[in-house]
Amino acid sequence: MTERIRLTDVTKQFPGAKGADPQLALQDVSLSIEAGEIYGLIGQSGAGKSTLLRMIDGLERPTSGTIAVDGTDLAGLRPDEMRALRRSIGMVFQQFSLWNARTVYDNIAVPLKLAGWSKEAINARVAELIDFVGLHGKAFAKPRQLSGGQKQRVGIARAIATRPSIVLADEATSALDPQTTTEIIDLLRAANTEFGITMVVVTHEMDVIARLADRLSILSRGQVVETGEVHQVLSRPEHPVSAGLVGSYTRMTLSEEDRRELREGFAGTGISVVVQESLLRSPVLSRLARQHDVDFTVITGGISRTKGLPYGQLSLALYGEGQDVDAFVAGLRQHAEVSTW
């Protein structure tokens, strides 16, 4: 696939207050985002997610390192070239950022007017977008007459109005209730699918990433600690920060303390199984249990899907003779990643 955005060794410092040391917001961040994908950036508050998004949009410049969009280094652009580039980037905000005195039509039309579209073209495009985001009959409503979800639909329509190749979404669902969050996730996915827009989604909610993104990077204290396919990271997080975020979301993994307590409470062998597609196609666990005369209980875990791909972990307690348990584990490892504890 074509690379749309690349960050190479990006560091960002902000001046400290009253002679204090500079504040490090990002350190040595490198990312590659492909055209047409939905890329998630997740981390706790202060991890540097929004700063990174602002640099992709050209609103902040890195202290060091390079940011390239479609192969063009942003640092080398003249102001007029930067303005032209930013017209190819749409932005969806947490707090909607609508003009309260203007109608839905006017809010959506603003970027089109700035881009020099004719009145006829603006009318046609706004009508198309109002239909796409599901705001029929709301063209002349003011923001105060809209719900939070409807306001965000206006924000999304405005972000994609000029047919940008990139949309940056900064905590676009964090101010919404669960049902409205689902609707906005579906709308963002539809915009990605129908228009081929590359999306970079910043959030602190793993649920949003799991339901929307193709790949993700996890940030902590200004550094990328893990990058990968969403279903892989959800099944097998490698960094402690990732494991904490995934564990809080899925409730599928056991901490070392949990394992220690469980080991004291039963005489069996504990194993953790990373779910893979082959494990779901046939009754592997029950077949191996019969074959090797091993009993098992599921202690915790679960299986879900993102973009049609399975993710999850199962923690099992195995009961049987030592050699039989070993044979069970060896057979299971042909279908899944297994660790014992």
The predicted-structure confidence for 4-43, as pLDDT tens digits, reads as follows 999 999 999 998 887 788 899 999 999 999 999 999 999 9
pLDDT at 310: 78
pLDDT at 153: 96
Nearest to 247 by CA among 232, 237, 260, 258: 237
Single out the residue in 205, 229, 248 at which a domain terminates: 248
Distance CA 16, CA 91 (A): 28
Partners of 176 in beta bridges: none
Tens digit of pLDDT at every position of the chain (341 positions): 799 999 999 999 998 887 788 899 999 999 999 999 999 999 988 899 999 999 999 999 999 999 999 999 999 899 999 988 888 999 998 888 899 999 999 999 999 999 999 999 999 999 999 999 999 999 999 999 999 999 999 999 999 999 999 999 999 998 889 999 999 999 999 999 999 999 999 998 888 999 999 999 999 999 999 999 998 888 888 898 988 888 767 655 666 776 677 667 677 898 988 877 777 788 999 999 999 999 998 888 878 777 777 777 888 999 999 999 999 999 999 888 888 88
Single out the residue in 229, 248, 267 at which a domain terminates: 248
- CA terminus-to-terminus distance, the chain: 41
If DSSP codes are grouped into helix, strand and coil, which group holds residue 337? strand
Contact 200, 39 (CB under 8 A): yes
pLDDT tens, position by position, 159-188? 999 999 999 999 999 888 999 999 999 999
What CATH number is attached to the domain comprising 99?
3.40.50.300
68: left (phi over 0), alpha (psi -120 to 50) or beta: beta
Quick one: 93 and 27 in the same domain?
Answer: yes
Distance CA 170, CA 200 (A): 8
If DSSP codes are grouped into helix, strand and coil, which group holds residue 191? helix
Residues 6+ apart with CB under 8 A from 303: 275, 280, 310, 311, 312, 314
Residue 142 has a CB neighbour count (10 Å cut-off) of 16
Contact 159, 167 (CB under 8 A): yes
In three state form, how does the secondary structure of 221-266 look?
A: CCEEEEEEEHHHHHHCCCCHHHHHHHHHHHCCCCCHHHHHHHHHHC
Contact 57, 82 (CB under 8 A): no
Quick one: 292 and 211 in the same domain?
Answer: no
Quick one: 160 and 237 in the same domain?
Answer: yes
Distance CA 12, CA 22 (A): 10
Count structural domains, the chain.
2
pLDDT at 255: 64
Quick one: 226 and 272 in the same domain?
Answer: no
Prediction pTM value: 0.82
What CATH number is attached to the domain comprising 290?
3.30.70.260
Edge-to-edge strand list for the sheet holding 269-274: 295-306, 309-319, 269-274, 337-340
72: left (phi over 0), alpha (psi -120 to 50) or beta: beta
Quick one: 302 and 153 in the same domain?
Answer: no
Residue with tokens 């204090």: 20
Quick one: 235 and 105 in the same domain?
Answer: yes
Longest CA pairwise span in the chain (Å): 79
Distance CA 130, CA 145 (A): 16
Quick one: 223 and 282 in the same domain?
Answer: no
Quick one: 153 and 54 in the same domain?
Answer: yes
If DSSP codes are grouped into helix, strand and coil, which group holds residue 101? coil
If DSSP codes are grouped into helix, strand and coil, which group holds residue 281? coil
298-308 burial by CB neighbour count: b if 16+ within 10 A, else e? ebebeebebee
State the DSSP string of 16-73.
PGGGPPPEEEEEEEEEEEETT-EEEEE-STTSSHHHHHHHHTTSS--SEEEEEETTEE
Angle at the Cα of 21 from the Cα atoms of 16 and 23, rounded to 5 degrees: 60
Contact 156, 189 (CB under 8 A): no
Quick one: 216 and 257 in the same domain?
Answer: no
Quick one: 240 and 275 in the same domain?
Answer: no
Quick one: 244 and 284 in the same domain?
Answer: no
Single out the residue in 224, 248, 272 at which a domain terminates: 248
Domain that holds residue 212: 3-248
Quick one: 109 and 189 in the same domain?
Answer: yes
